[in-house]
Every structure is written in structure tokens, then in C-alpha cells.
Chain A
Amino acid sequence: MRTPYEVAAAVTDPEMPMLTLDDLGVLRDVADDGDSVVVTITPTYSGCPAVAAMRDDLVRVLDEEGFDDVRVEVVLAPAWSSDWISARGRRALAAHGLSAPGPAPRRDGPVTLALTPTRRDVRCPRCHSSEVAVTSEFGPTPCTALYRCATCLEPFEHVKEI
């Protein structure tokens, strides 16, 4: 029989199903005292509409595995960072045509205003060309920006650094 952690860690993200909640860094803790299981998750963005779906998926798969007393807790601190996406998660993103985030910005002191486009070291996840251009800083989910590759001409999503 799998442990509650193994079961929870295999649940995938509703919006980016190539990633498990564990690979995304959203799964923070799984506590099992023998009677009940408490799973702790954290939202990526404040407005993440997927938290309820994640919670329902976790309860369902753990129930199927025989853990019938499951509680899912949501924590806000520390705030999620794209740095928490695992190496395996980054490979999964690339394998599905998404560009993985670079290191999240480290801030000491006030946040500085940036009036020029965000510069990133992004390569096309299909042909690995570095000749890419951003088409929109905002994409279909809060966590992605839209790019286009000038070499293979394919558009792709880049998971933003946050």
C-alpha cells in the first residue's frame, strides 16, 4: 500500500496536468497520525481558481486509496515561488512545450519599477533556439507569458518567475 504522501504527491495540477502538485511546489505537507491524514497546500497566485479542484482531487484519490479521514489545509505563508518547481517538473514542462521559469527575482528593500520589458534567458522548448520574442506578458493562466520562436515560428508559453 502506498503512503498518503505518495498518493498525494501523484495528484496533478488541474491547469497544467503534466505537473504533479508536488512538482509544482504547491504540496507543502502530508501528515498521517494513523487515523487521519492532513494535507497542506498553498496557492500559486492569490486568485488561483484551482485550489478547490486541487482539494477535491486530493480528498478523492486518498479516499480511493483507503484513507477516508482526510482534511486539506490551505496555507498562505511562505508565499509560493516558481523556484519551488522541481527539476522533474521543469523537464515535464519542457516535454509538453512549455518553457520553465528562470530564478525568481530576489528583492531586498522596495520593489523597483520596471518600465522596460522583462528580460529573460528563454529558449524555445521545441527547437531550443534562443531567437525568441515575447508576444504578451500575460497568458491563459496567471503563471504564464506568451512567446514566439523566430526560428521554428512556433508560439509557446513561458512559466513566469515569481
Chain B
Amino acid sequence: MTDTTDNPYEGLYGGDASHWAFGTGFEDPLATLGDTRVPEGVDPRDLAAYAVMLADDALVLSHRLSEWCSNAPDLEEDVALANVALDLLGQARLLYARAATIDPESVPGVPDGSPVPAEDAYAFFRDAGEFRNVGLVERCDEDFADAVVRLLLVASWRLAVMERLRAGSDPVLAAVAAKAVKELAYHRDYAGRWVVTLARGTEESRRRVQAARERVWRWRAELGATHPVEERVAQAGAGVDPAAVDDEVDAVLRQVWDAGDLDVPPREAVPAPRGRDGHHTDALTDLLEEMQSVARAHPLGRW
């Protein structure tokens, strides 16, 4: 193999420089995992669709959080939200890679000659209608209070789901969940502390966090609304029925509302249309247009 240790700039000139477009290496991070067989009793198409749902939630929220980088109230929050975004991006990559090994037919087609791996095909070569994320993660933040209230809701719910998924029958999803639990625990703490800080801060910060919660809360009910795919995968022992964690999530959120001296908002009806069915707001279309622009303009990774 070529020795690049003497000249770290070797890759900048000559040879095939395709890797500069999409990052270093096109390998599937899970391609080397030992046993990636699908557990018995689960429809592989369902299990792959389930993995994509969990991946889409993480990818879309990761992108929204990354928009705060250089825009947060202070440098520490820039760094914090970028860290949380990176964790979620990592979870999304592993889940996409798993979906591809379970059901290769679920991997979107890419333009001829494109070298991108499956995870990039899911992220960059699907339109909004093919995304299966919940509506809560795609909405635009109006201010920092929006960002921390939304992160509190998503992290509380995803942590509850992932805690159960650790015991699921799919060894890869269970392993992804075990890592995710450690990360989501501090995401939730971070968001919860900020919600309390804003609620108990100044008149203005309290007004802002209350307004943010009113805007965000209408998306809460969708988190506990079970999709038929989630139901089937959960019944087969490989996934988690989100309705089963609804009360637990409310109990966690109530601790934050109480600490912030905020009232407990009532349950609301599930908003329509549903993100898990591929129905989304314009916010997702706009997000994808930006996120996918480079990969779609240069599908071969060359310019």
C-alpha cells in the first residue's frame, strides 16, 4: 500500500481524489460487524423500516441542532449543541447501516457511478416524502428556548425507547441502543437544566420558555402514537412500542416542569399528517434542500 506518512499532503494532488467530496473512506462502518443476521420472527422489511425511522429522527434533529453552531447565545452552547448533534449523527449512521444489512432493497438508488455508501444514500438521495421522522424533529427553532424544549422532549422520549431497545432481539439495534442510552442521558440533562434555568430566570426568559413550550407541545402526542411498523416490530421482540413509554416520558417531563414552576400541559390529539407515514411540513423540504445540495450536485464526488 502507499505510504503517506512522509507527506500528509500526498492526497491533495494526483490520483483519485473523490474522497474529498464525501469524507474519508466509503466503507460501511457495520460491514465488518461479525453476526448481522436478522432475528427470527421479524419481517426484514419491517425491521429495516424501523431502523430507518429511528435513524431519520436522529439525522433530522442532528441537522437542526447543527444550525445553532455559531448562532447560540454563547460559545459554550455552540459547543454543547454541536456535541449533541454529533452523537445523534453517529446514531443515525449506525442505524442506516443496519437497515441496509437487514434489507438491501431499502437502500435508495443513487446516480450511476456514485461511490456513496448506503448510509449516505439514505441521507442524501431520498426526498421528504420518503423520510419517516416524527414531525417534532423537523420544525425550525424560533429561538434558543425552542431548541432546548424540543431537545428535552426528544431526548426524554428517545432515551426511554432506547433503554428498552437494549433488550431487543436484534443484536445490532440492541448494541446501538446501549451506546445511545449513555449519550441521551446527558442530552436530556442538558436540555432539562436549560428549561429550568430559563423558567426561573428573568421575566423575559420565563416568557420565552413558556411560549416555546406552547409551540413545541403540539408535536408531543405524535411521539407516543404507534405506527403499524413499530407495532409489528415490537410484537416480534425486536423493537419498542412508543405508546408503552408515554407515561414514563410524561413523568420525566413533569420533574422538569415542577422544577421550573411551570404548569403541566394537557395531552393533545395526535397531529395530522404523520411523519412516520412520510407526510411532512415544508420545514423538512427546506432542510433537505440544504443538507442534500452538495451530494446531489456532485453525485460522483468530483468537481
Contact = CB atoms under 8 A, between A and B. Distances in A.
A52 interface: yes
A46 B24 CA distance: 17
Interface string B156-173: 000110010000000110
A110 B256 CA distance: 16
A77 B108 CA distance: 28
A71 B34 CA distance: 12
B216 interface: no
B192 interface: yes
Contacts of A73: 32-34
B243 interface: no
Interface stretch (B39-47, B88-96, B126-134): B88-96
A136 B80 contact: yes
The majority secondary structure among interface residues of chain A is loop
Interface of B is mostly: helix
Interface in B73-110: 76, 79-80, 82-84, 86-91, 93-94
A59 B2 CA distance: 11
A63 B1 contact: yes
Contact of B80 (A43, A47, A76, A137): A137
Contact of A79 (B91, B160, B182): B182
- Interface residue tally of chain A, by bracket? 35 or more
B249 to A, nearest CB: 11
Contact of B79 (A64, A74, A110, A138): A138
A111 B184 CA distance: 10
Residue with the greatest number of chain A CB neighbours at <10 A, chosen from B3, B25, B182: B182
A132 B188 CA distance: 25
A144 B24 CA distance: 24
Given A45-B90, A46-B94, A140-B79, A60 B32 contact: no
Contact of A111 (B24, B181, B190): B181
A7 interface: no
Nearest to A53: B24
Contacts of B186: 137
Given A47-B90, A60-B1, A162-B182, A75 B174 contact: no
Interface string A73-98: 11111111000000000000000000
Interface residues of B, number: 52
Scoring A74, A113, A139 by chain B CB atoms within 10 A of each residue's CB, the highest score goes to A113
A110 B248 contact: yes
Contacts of A53: 24
B86 A142 contact: yes
Contact of A135 (B76, B82, B94): B76
Given A138-B79, A140-B79, A72 B88 contact: no
Contact of B259 (A45, A56, A79, A115): A115
A9 interface: no
B282 interface: no
Contacts of B27: 52
A76 B79 contact: no
A114 interface: yes
Nearest to A72: B32
Contact of B86 (A47, A60, A76): A47
Nearest to A76: B175
A128 B189 CA distance: 29
B190 to A, nearest CB: 7
B29 A75 contact: no
Contacts of B24: 52-53, 56
Give the residue among A56, A64, A138 with the most B Cβ atoms within 10 A: A138
A75 B32 CA distance: 8
A49 interface: yes
A80 B255 CA distance: 30
B100 to A, nearest CB: 15
A26 B300 CA distance: 34
Chain A CB within 10 Å, residue with most, of B34, B87, B88, B90 = B90
A40 to B, nearest CB: 9
A106 to B, nearest CB: 12
Q: Which 9 A-B pairs have the closest CB atoms?
A: A47-B90, A46-B90, A76-B175, A77-B175, A47-B86, A138-B80, A136-B76, A73-B32, A138-B83
Given A46-B94, A115-B189, 5 more contacts: A64-B3, A76-B94, A79-B182, A110-B160, A142-B83
